[in-house]
A and B are shown apart, each in its own frame.
Chain A
Amino acid sequence: MATQVTVKILRYDPEKDKKAHFETYTVEADPLDRILDVLNSIKWYQDGSLTYRRSCAHGVCGSDAMRINGRNRLACKVLVRDVGGDAGKKIQIEPMLGFRILRDLVVDMDPFFEKYKSIKPYLINYEDAPASSERYQSAEDREIFDETTKCILCGACSGSCPPYWAGPDFVGPAAIVNAHRFIFDSRDQGAAERLSILGEGEGVFRCRTVYNCTDACPRNIPVTKAIEQIRRAMLYNR
């Protein structure tokens, strides 16, 4: 049962516009359509210049994180029904805050990935792996960092974080989550290195426990809890 949905999108074309501005579109959509379908409908049938990132469209690749009605969400995981679009409410879509807008809903993710790399997001183990088998890890040890393995690097957490908006140098929740994934991995030996990186002025102590990241994460990672666990590890393992 298709209804008319009003969508307000923040548009910015670096070649034409000096400042970003809102444009309103009316789209025919089903309450069970995703916000991504609504954007596709606008791009394909109304305004081909509308630019946004999307790839898998099923909440796995993390490329379509954006600000929907003021909250960072994946456009492919939010239904029109979820934001009241079918009940006549206007849906507002903006690029994520805390990033430079390249065009429309596309933001510059480079600083985000530089920060991600700075925490050494790979297994560090100075011993050779056993020749005959893999590095053994018990189910209990795997469980410790299970939640932080789910990150898809969409940037929804960092883009919702007030200290990340305020301080362009703050490493941000996404990088901390990925540091957590290795710090608490029993097979990894780089915990001390990562804790020392995150203990610096722009590391975990820039977190103000706002909990926006936990709300924004499309994979339901308890981000604030992970940050707190890292701080405790620093306190107890000095």
Chain B
Amino acid sequence: MSTETKTTQHTHPDPVARTTRRWTRSGGRPRPTGNFELFSWYFFRISGILLLFFALIHLLIMHLLNNVDVIDYNFIVQRWASPLWRTFDIMLLVLALTHGLNGARVLIYDYVHSRGWRTFAVTTLYVVGILFIVLGAQVILTFQPQIQSVAK
């Protein structure tokens, strides 16, 4: 009698139901995310390529062509007098932050499995990210020179 119960366990009445039974631990297919993951992946590639140029130019100007002791308030005033460099800096800020945040988000999805902790971690990440983008953008966009060329 006991052998009979054992054999029935192995044969599922509906082979189709068995086929689509389980993918995730919670059962069923994961929640659809629309095209978000696709765009996130594509954005990663594009922002990565752009950052290569932006970060290298930034490194070249701020660390190789100009020594650290040359970079002062006056330097920034002169640099930001041109809208080109303001645009450059805001692009660098937004790209670096979003690229980095996207990476951190992906790490959270890889390693944080509990739904509550995942929501908490991702929410914190977005809040901090948006805060930094707003703070940085505010400085770059609204900066007005207070003292005219100290060096003179």
Known: A114-B22, A199-B35, A199-B38. A166 touches B111 (CB 8 A): yes
Q: Does B12 contact A (CB under 8 A)?
A: no
Q: Which A residue sits closest to B44, measured CB to CB? A: A205
Known: A197-B29, A231-B41. A202 touches B20 (CB 8 A): no
Residues of chain B contacted by A234 (CB below 8 angstroms): 38
Complex contact B40–A205 (CB within 8 A): yes
Complex contact B30–A200 (CB within 8 A): yes
Q: Does B53 contact A (CB under 8 A)?
A: no
Q: Does A19 contact B (CB under 8 A)?
A: no
Q: Which B residue sits closest to A110, measured CB to CB? A: B22
Number of interface residues of B (CB under 8 A): 23
Complex contact B23–A169 (CB within 8 A): yes
Known: A114-B22, A169-B30, A202-B30. A235 touches B38 (CB 8 A): yes
Q: Does A14 contact B (CB under 8 A)?
A: no
Complex contact B25–A235 (CB within 8 A): no
Complex contact A117–B40 (CB within 8 A): no
Complex contact A163–B42 (CB within 8 A): no
1/0 per residue, CB under 8 A from A, across B98-110: the answer is 0000000010011
Q: In the bound complex, what is the Cα–Cα distance between A166 and B110 (angstroms)?
A: 6
Residues of chain A contacted by B32 (CB below 8 angstroms): 196, 200
Chain A contact residues: helix, strand, loop or mixed: helix
A residues 155-178 touching B (CB-CB < 8 Å): 163, 166-169, 171
Residues of chain B contacted by A111 (CB below 8 angstroms): 22
Q: In the bound complex, what is the Cα–Cα distance between A222 and B143 (angstroms)?
A: 52
Q: Which B residue sits closest to A202, measured CB to CB? A: B30
Q: In the bound complex, what is the Cα–Cα distance between A118 and B40 (angstroms)?
A: 24
Q: Does A135 contact B (CB under 8 A)?
A: no
Residues of chain B contacted by A197 (CB below 8 angstroms): 29
Q: Which A residue sits closest to B24, measured CB to CB? A: A169
A residues 98-137 touching B (CB-CB < 8 Å): 111, 114-115, 117-118
Residues of chain B contacted by A169 (CB below 8 angstroms): 23-25, 30
Known: A169-B24, A169-B30, A171-B23. A205 touches B37 (CB 8 A): yes
Residues of chain A contacted by B35 (CB below 8 angstroms): 199, 238
Q: Does A84 contact B (CB under 8 A)?
A: no
Q: Which residues of A contact B (CB under 8 A)?
A: 111, 114-115, 117-118, 163, 166-169, 171, 196-197, 199-203, 205-206, 208, 231, 234-235, 238
Q: List 8 A-B contacts (CB under 8 A).
A: A114-B23, A117-B20, A166-B110, A167-B109, A167-B110, A200-B37, A202-B30, A231-B41
